[in-house]
Amino acid sequence: MSTNAGYSFLGTVISAGLLGFGIDKVFDTQPWAFLGFMIIGLVYAVFLAQRTMNPAPDHSDPPEANDTAIKKDEEKP
């Protein structure tokens, strides 16, 4: 699982950098598109790595909602 997060991180950063580099070449805006896309790529890569390393909890078996309602009703005078 951690290897997948590493490859995802690296691929996202490299892809964003290449996209920014290409936009800089086409529109002659060096280095602004490269820097902007690198920042966006890094932020998104951290988000993907965090999501990969800490998946959402499984809510297939939720706790019984009636248990807390019964306890609250018992406390009432």
Number of domains in the chain: 1
Per-residue pLDDT of the chain (77 residues), as tens digits, is 567 778 888 999 999 999 999 999 999 999 999 999 999 999 999 998 888 888 777 766 655 655 555 555 555 55
Pair 60, 52: CB distance under 8 Å: no
Centroid of chain to Cα 65: 31
Q: Give the separation between CA 56 and CA 5, rounded to whole angstroms.
A: 15
Host domain of residue 13? 2-54
The predicted model scores a pTM of: 0.67
Please report whether residue 74 resides in a domain: no
Please report whether residue 47 resides in a domain: yes
Please report whether residue 69 resides in a domain: no
